[in-house]
Amino acid sequence: MLASLTEILKIAEERNIAVGSFNTPNLESLEAVLNAAEKLNVPVIVMHAQVHEYAAPLAVIGPVMVVAAKAAKVPVCVQLDHGVEVDYAEAALKLGFTGIMYDGSLLPYEENLANTRKVVKMAAEFGAGVEAELGSLPSREGSASAAVGPVYTDPEEAVAFCRETGIDAFAPSFGTAHGIYKSTPKLDLDRVKVIAQKTGLPLVMHGGSGVSTEDYRTAIRNGIRKINYYSYMSRAGVRAAREMLDSQDVTFFHDLALTAQLAMQEDAERAIRIFTGE
């Protein structure tokens, strides 16, 4: 069933768990994630990232995600991930998305603040929740921005930003990065605890792939209620597809796609089990 970001995060808060949040830029990853959540009987978040527009246009994958979420046996939030344009966020809301992650981190602070407030107001009219981040999370390792190292969110700045924007969930920067890690990330989990206490909001971990089980558990204990996880799940699908191609003569793409889907489901299940403390 379709649920809003706030409803999903409330469940996470009550159960002291983190909800798994996955990018689903194709039918296979969408089915993989929803099947995993139904099998484990837990709420889940499926996301469309604006950066994936080239692979899956919002106007096409968006309605598919909403229909699939409505048909699911568990609460599902359909969220926009890293929406960098207010118009794009509005388009997602009109398609029935129940959560928006607005990312104005590349804008000057005042502009980021103004846009985030605009998105919060707009989302409220649709009954959707809003997540935002402050400061830029480092992107894929090896890229220019990762060379300067992780940026850590200042707790006081976080408090002011959350209060002035009225967001429902906050994504602090505490050492994680998007993409595949080349070395073990150094996380500042005490910072997570301080920011959770000071803002009183559910916190979101971006770049949740490749974090150690122990760090996931501590992060959840300290206030992380949503973990964005995608790269490693996707890679599991790629690996399964490659093995299939190496071992047999494949004619139909849908057979290859299904093999990847099942491998992604297995990986998503493993992640969800950790996030929900099983």
Task: Cite the active site residues.
Answer: 81
Least separation in angstroms between residue 177's CB and Zn ion is 9
> Which residues 181-210 are close enough to bind Zn ion by CB under 5 A?
206
Closest CA to 102 of 88, 91, 110: 88
Please work out, in degrees rounded to the nearest 5, the angle formed at the alpha carbon of residue 42 by the alpha carbons of 76 and 127. Answer: 30
Least separation in angstroms between residue 228's CB and Zn ion is 5
Helix and strand numbers (H, E) in the chain are 10, 8
Q: Is 157 exposed, middle or buried (0-12, 13-18, 19+ CB in 10 A)?
A: middle
Q: How many residues bind to Zn ion according to rule CB under 5 A? A: 1
Matching residue, tokens 């909800």: 19
Complex with Zn ion: residue 58 or 241, whichever CB lies closer: 58
- Contact by Cβ (8 Å): 25, 259: no
- Contact by Cβ (8 Å): 97, 105: no
Complex with Zn ion: residue 85 or 255, whichever CB lies closer: 85
- Angle between helix axes 109-125 and 86-94 (nearest 10 degrees) is 10
Complex with Zn ion: residue 193 or 226, whichever CB lies closer: 226
Closest CA to 154 of 112, 124, 188, 129: 188
Beta strands of the chain (E only): which ranges?
A: 19-23, 44-49, 76-83, 99-102, 129-133, 169-171, 203-205, 224-228
Least separation in angstroms between residue 227's CB and Zn ion is 11
Residue nearest to Zn ion (CB): 206
Least separation in angstroms between residue 17's CB and Zn ion is 20
Least separation in angstroms between residue 206's CB and Zn ion is 3
Complex with Zn ion: residue 44 or 72, whichever CB lies closer: 44
Complex with Zn ion: residue 206 or 225, whichever CB lies closer: 206
**Residue 88 CA neighbour count, 13 Å, CB half:** 21
Complex with Zn ion: residue 191 or 206, whichever CB lies closer: 206
> Which residues 119-178 are close enough to bind Zn ion by CB under 5 A?
none
Least separation in angstroms between residue 138's CB and Zn ion is 10
- Contact by Cβ (8 Å): 174, 188: yes
CB under 8 Å to 63, separation ≥6 — which residues?
Answer: 95, 96
Q: Which residues would be at the binding site for Zn ion (CB under 5 A)? A: 206
